[in-house]
Amino acid sequence: MKTNNLDDEQKMPLTDHLEELRSRFIKVLIALAAGFVVCFLFKERIFGFVAYPLQCVMPEGSSMIFTGLPEAFFTYLKVSLFASLFLTSPYTLYQTWKFVSPGLYPTEQKYVVPFVVLSTLFFVGGALFAYFLVFPLGFAFFLAFATESIAAMLSMKEYLSFSMKLLLAFGIMFELPIFMFFSAKIGIIDSDVLKKNRKYAILLIFITAAMLTPPDVVTQTMMAVPLVLLYELSLWVVKLAERKKKRGTADTEDGG
């Protein structure tokens, strides 16, 4: 008969849950700090990589600037931190899984490797989609407003803030199928709800894309269309999770 760890988890005092959360959070912070040190050693190269899509569309002979004495230093600190977030994301996802896994069935706990691998791939895939496709079009749109009398003076700090927000936004949004799958596993959502609210979801996706991207139709569409496809993929993934859940329930009843 199939059993899970929910009863054992419910018997655990709240303080034990908080202690475990604190322990895993500290491990994530240690990994993040270690990654930060490594990334800071290559801060110029990392920033150059992040700035490359902008440099490709900047007018010839122009360069980025910093307007305050500590701006470049703090910009390098921030880019090292962001790079560490990407670098240590598999470990962060692993610790997240280990925290929530006691509430899952033993057969579901073995999904730790697929969860970490797929979550990392989707997150990095979303960031790369923004980097290679959205950035060039968006930056070209903004720089098109420069004229002979109006020159673009691009600040390191402002560029990093803008680009990192987009990279993180795309990375997180590309996690939608993974989030939906495990939400279906624990019964938070089902495929009928997704089908019923599809048109509202698509409307929300286009509104979100309009808020997070430059105000041109091409860039907004380049963000919205993949998200719509991810929503449809999530619907299929949720159906798959429901079938597996029903099959597991049937096996439990037969075993009982």
Cα separation, 45 vs 214, in Å, equals: 26
DSSP classification of residue 177: H
What mean pLDDT comes out for the span 76-86?
A: 95
pLDDT tens-digit series, residues 88-146:
989 998 898 888 777 666 766 677 788 788 888 989 999 999 899 888 888 888 888 88
pLDDT tens-digit series, residues 36-63:
999 999 999 999 999 999 988 888 878 8
* pTM attached to this predicted model: 0.76
Query: Distance between the two ends of the chain, CA-based, in angstroms?
Result: 6
Q: Identity (one letter) of the amino acid at 220?
A: Q
Asked if residues 137 and 55 have their Cβ atoms less than 8 Å apart, the reply is: no
Q: Is the dihedral of CA 229, 233, 236, 238 positive or negative?
A: negative
Q: Is the dihedral of CA 37, 42, 44, 45 positive or negative?
A: negative
Strand partners, 65: 155
pLDDT tens-digit series, residues 144-189:
888 888 888 889 999 999 899 888 888 888 888 888 877 776 667 7
pLDDT tens-digit series, residues 200-243:
989 988 888 787 766 667 777 888 888 899 889 888 888 877 77
Please compute, for residue 137, the number of CA atoms within 13 A of its CA located in the half-sphere on the CB side. Answer: 16
Asked if residues 79 and 173 have their Cβ atoms less than 8 Å apart, the reply is: no
Q: Identity (one letter) of the amino acid at 92?
A: T
